[in-house]
Amino acid sequence: MDIYPPFGIHWVGPYEDISGISHINRNVAMAALKLGLRIRITSPFSPGSWSHLKSLLSLEKLELLRQAQNTGLQNGNFFAVHSYPPHYLHPSQIQQVAGQARVHIAYSLFETNKIPANWPASLNHQNIMEAWVPCKFKLESYKKGGVEPRKLKWVPHGVDLQEFTPDGPRLKLAESDVFTFLTIMDESPRKGPEILLKAYFEEFAQGENVL
């Protein structure tokens, strides 16, 4: 698929709360604006239906999001990227949120070696031209799950090197020389917290120099 300027972008997905998907969506929109791209961001979910936990953002970021919310796009002269779980993606949703797009793309991630059984039907729909995944590992799992290989594209996430940097203050988890393991996850089955804990307690005994 070849897309050339002056095409605009309609980035569709939640973007105001603390979830990982929202974090990705708003940062893509803000980075695109800084690059001078014409991008609009829209959430297909009513307030509070995705998450009621809003993210605390700086005034600069709030202003960038305001710009992205109000960006005008010419019908038929933009492509839409639907960045939310594909089981929400159906023809009525596409038409309601970004129906005048020249091209529709689905962008999603599921952090396991399989994908939900109902995702291929949405991703293989004729309205979806491409299915984007952020890592090469997902190309194979989506393909095995039944998504048409010709649609799959590897489009990795970017990194804001000003925000994610090894410089700055450190969080002291232990005031000692104890080797400390840290994991950040929610306690859902696909994250596998019980597997992580089982591995830790099988490897280390009480009294070993680990935390």
**For 30-61, how does the pLDDT look when each residue is reduced to its tens digit (9 = 90+)?**
999 999 999 999 999 988 889 888 899 999 99
Tell me the average pLDDT of the chain: 90
Task: Decide which of 6 and 211 is more confident.
Answer: 211
* Spacing of C-alpha 115 from chain mean position: 15
pLDDT at 4 over 60: no
H-state helical runs in the chain: 20-34, 59-69, 91-98, 119-123, 136-145, 193-203
User: Please, which pLDDT band fits residue 3 given cuts at 50, 70 and 90?
Assistant: low
Taking the C-alpha atoms of residue 11 and residue 9, their distance in angstroms, rounded to an integer, is: 6
Tokens 């893509």: give the residue: 28
pLDDT (mean) for 132-137: 94
